[in-house]
Structure 1
């Protein structure tokens, strides 16, 4: 199965056009949040991305809410917006977790999910699924600089260690765009806005 992974578009329409072209070469598209910026500007990028006809599984980031993304995607026929929910395609379960985990301090517009709430939502995800999460797991593609500080989610890391997903796609940390790592043997990919093709 060939996937197109992306995150953190932040309203960049040129990158959206590139993603539409790249989507023709894959089976499934996974988008890990932050389609706009500061709770604004998601309608235009989504209007472009809605030309993608391949199954597209999306989560909101911390720059938009689930409801805002769901509304913007109302005419994107192949899109599924997930948060604490899943869909099954070709026998594979795809589970979504949107927002920033842990809570982003001192940023009033940020759409956050506490570690406790994230852990509760992740209970619904079966083993060997694909996790689409805006936030990365703790100490995996989660370092911001300066200084080098780990701000990933401990609940997501614990979920990976317990449920052994097929792979995890995330975003949120711009310093780790287009990078791959692993928690144990589970691949973790911070997609970034350029469109990463991943095959497994």
Structure 2
């Protein structure tokens, strides 16, 4: 299975065009949150991806709520947030939002570490973890060098050992990768990222 993955589209028309074009070769597309900006323009942002015909798995970022994403979803899109799905034998579990809480204010959809842990504890097995926030200490550094990833997410990856954990959220770490045991962690960003399963 050829998997195309991205995060943090943030209503970028140019990145959306690149993703739609790339998706012609994809069996599955994963969107790891932040399709729009500050809870504004989500239907329009998703419309930019309407040329994707492959199944899409999406988690909400901190820029849109799970309910907002579910309402605006594309016909071929499945929203995961503390839930999982099996696609052709591939077990995928998703958790969106900013973890831990961000300093961005009321518009940001965030979870505390304890709230995130409660969702993640429901997952018993996964081949792919789709997350908006990175794990603490991997692909999670701001431009000031501060590590702002989630301890609960790190612990879940360590416990579950999926083949792959994808995330976004921290723009300064787009493209960065790391390992937690046998699990590859990738902070995706809005350009096409390819994985084979």
TM-score range, shorter chain: over 0.9
- For residues 79-135 of structure 1, the C-alpha deviation after alignment (integer angstroms, 9 at most, x for no partner) is 101101111001111111010000113522110011111111011212243110000
Question: For the residues of structure 2 that align with 1:197 and 1:45, how far apart are their CA atoms?
Answer: 22
> Would you say how many aligned residue pairs link Structure 1 and Structure 2?
197
Computed over aligned residues only, the root mean square deviation of the Cα atoms, in angstroms, reads 1.2
Equivalent position of 1:139 in the other structure: 137
Kindly state the Cα deviation for residue 177 of structure 1 after the two structures are TM-superposed: 1.0
Correspondence for 1:166: 163
Q: CA deviation at 1:150?
A: 0.5
**TM-score scaled to structure 2, two decimals?**
0.96
Deviation at 1:71, TM superposition (A): 1.2
Q: Is 2:164–2:184's contact at 8 Å kept on the other side of the alignment? A: yes
Matched, 1:192 2:189: yes
Q: Which runs of 4+ in 1 moved over 4 A?
A: none
Is contact 2:138-2:177 (8 Å) kept?
A: no
Give 3-state SS (helix, strand or coil) of 2:48's partner: helix
Name structure 2 gaps, 5 residues minimum.
none
Asked whether 1:182 is paired with 2:174, we answer no
Is residue 40 from structure 1 mapped to residue 40 from structure 2 by the alignment?
yes
Paired residue secondary structure (1:124) = coil
TM-score of the pair, normalised by structure 1: 0.94
Q: Following the alignment from structure 1 to structure 2, what is the Cα–Cα distance between the partners of residues 166 and 36?
A: 28
